[in-house]
């Protein structure tokens, strides 16, 4: 890795720390990296293991440099197409090389030549200025009292279709600041600065789902509320992970209708939408966002699923079942047997990464459909494939209300007999 690439990686880490607002990464613990891994997975559909992220952040000693896949995934998490585009669009600082003193003769000129002392002082001025600036910023960032009872933060959804815009109404009163932000969801990249003296801001949502919008003053969340973008039954969406900044593609009801009464997207339909017959990192999403009348602490989800992509079209042929709740997510994977290192299971705040766990039970040949079932009890999920229990996972936090079901295929796929009760 070149020095410029190293500087680019340091810039990315600083930017991520600022956006996440979790403080100095020196103080991050294992749960922080678990959470970050889950956030990257939700945004990019790619699993970076906790150990990989720890290596990137220097928490684990590792002699090799990050792989191109890791760097590109990190860039996509920040909203860029690739690591190269991230580096090219940022001013990457050039490290100032310090002279190495190897002999006392190197010190003599400083004793004999006063101008050398001034040279050193001039060289140190930028460093001293940076230190002073950081100290001033730290002073300004100290917490101060805010009366949140007088702050207003509400919103109105303008449509019952997708995409959907939301009008935010806010008022911070007489608080003197120019650091006011509205964040659409959990994702810090969807945070926008708004004028402190204004009272309205709009955002567009291209995906359905349950979101917790936040009003921030500086890095402090002062108000938040729920936003629920619903669908009218099952909806089909295509997302190209290799082009994260492009808008999603919506599929019509006819394009996802299967002759057997289920849902299906064929290779012909998908190719016509994206202009290629290769579907690596192209995700077909079936989703149904609504309030589900099931007890959060006791329900059963089941479905018959099959990734119908040819191996030549989608190498790993992944399938994901995401049960979205008001407090988190239950995410169950399937994939080609040789790709289990790239999948993960998530149940609430428990994240099981295929990089450091054996998830071979979730490998499947897809020559025939798979019957998936998960029995959810109080902070526990028992997972079955073809009536065989493959994993039992517990978590520490309650799940909350079920508000969205998502079935995701890498490439093409078929889903039927979907039930939650």
CATH code, domain with 306: 2.60.120.200
How many domains does the chain fold into? 4
Task: Indicate whether 289 and 359 sit together in one domain.
Answer: yes
What is the domain extent for residue 387? 235-420
Task: Indicate whether 175 and 242 sit together in one domain.
Answer: no
Q: Buried (b) or exposed (e) across 178-210, using 16+ Cβ within 10 A?
A: eebbbbbbeebbbeeebebeeeebebebebbbb
Q: What is the pLDDT of residue 115?
A: 52
Residues 264 and 234: beta-carbon distance below 8 Å: no
Q: What is the pLDDT of residue 87?
A: 83
Domain contains 95: no
pTM recorded for the entire structure: 0.67
Domain contains 307: yes
pLDDT digits (tens, 9 = 90+) for 329-380: 999 999 999 999 999 999 988 999 998 899 999 999 999 999 999 999 988 9
Q: What is the mean pLDDT of the chain?
A: 83
Domain contains 125: yes
Task: Indicate whether 261 and 391 sit together in one domain.
Answer: yes
Q: What is the pLDDT of residue 94?
A: 35
CA gap 51, 23 in Å, rounded: 20
Q: Which residues of the chain have pLDDT under 70?
A: 1, 42, 45, 61-64, 89-145, 187-189, 242-245
Neighbours of 329 (CB within 10 A): 18
Q: What is the pLDDT of residue 181?
A: 92
Task: Indicate whether 178 and 316 sit together in one domain.
Answer: no
């Amino acid at each position: 890795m070149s020095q410029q690439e190293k500087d680019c990686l340091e810039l990315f880490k600083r930017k991520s720390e600022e956006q996440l607002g979790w403080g100095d990464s020196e103080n991050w613990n294992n749960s922080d990296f678990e959470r970050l891994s889950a956030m990257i997975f939700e945004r990019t559909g790619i699993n970076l293991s906790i150990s990989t992220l720890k290596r990137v952040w220097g928490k684990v000693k590792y002699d090799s440099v990050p792989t191109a896949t890791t760097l590109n995934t990190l860039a996509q998490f920040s909203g860029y197409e690739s690591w190269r585009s991230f580096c090219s669009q940022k001013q990457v600082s050039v490290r100032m090389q310090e002279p190495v003193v190897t002999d006392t003769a190197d010190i003599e000129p400083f004793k004999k030549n006063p101008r050398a002392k001034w040279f050193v002082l001039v060289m140190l001025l930028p460093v001293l200025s940076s230190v002073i600036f950081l100290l001033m910023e730290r002073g300004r960032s100290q917490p101060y009292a805010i009366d949140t009872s007088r702050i207003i933060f509400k919103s109105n959804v303008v449509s019952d279709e997708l995409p959907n815009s939301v009008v935010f109404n806010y008022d911070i009163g007489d608080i003197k600041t120019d650091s006011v932000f509205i964040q659409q969801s959990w994702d810090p990249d969807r945070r926008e600065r708004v004028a402190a003296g204004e009272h309205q801001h709009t955002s567009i949502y291209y995906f359905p789902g349950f979101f917790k919008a936040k009003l921030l003053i500086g890095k402090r969340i002062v108000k938040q509320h729920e936003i629920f973008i619903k669908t009218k039954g099952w909806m089909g969406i295509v997302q190209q992970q290799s082009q994260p900044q492009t808008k999603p593609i919506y599929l019509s009801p006819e394009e996802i209708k299967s002759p057997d009464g289920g849902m299906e997207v064929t290779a012909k339909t998908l190719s016509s939408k994206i202009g290629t017959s290769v579907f690596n990192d192209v995700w077909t999403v079936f989703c149904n966002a609504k309030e589900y009348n099931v007890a959060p602490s006791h329900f059963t989800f089941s479905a018959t699923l099959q990734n119908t992509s040819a191996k030549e079209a989608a190498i790993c042929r992944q399938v994901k079942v995401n049960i979205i709740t008001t407090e988190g997510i239950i995410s169950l994977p399937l994939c080609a047997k040789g790709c289990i290192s790239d999948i993960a299971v998530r149940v609430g705040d428990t994240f099981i990464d295929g990089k450091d766990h054996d998830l071979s039970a979730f490998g499947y040949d897809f020559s025939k459909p798979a019957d998936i079932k998960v029995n959810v009890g109080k902070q526990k999920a028992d997972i079955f494939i073809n009536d065989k229990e493959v994993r039992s996972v517990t978590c520490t936090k309650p799940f909350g209300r079920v508000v969205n079901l998502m079935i995701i295929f890498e490439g093409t796929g078929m889903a039927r007999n979907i039930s939650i009760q």
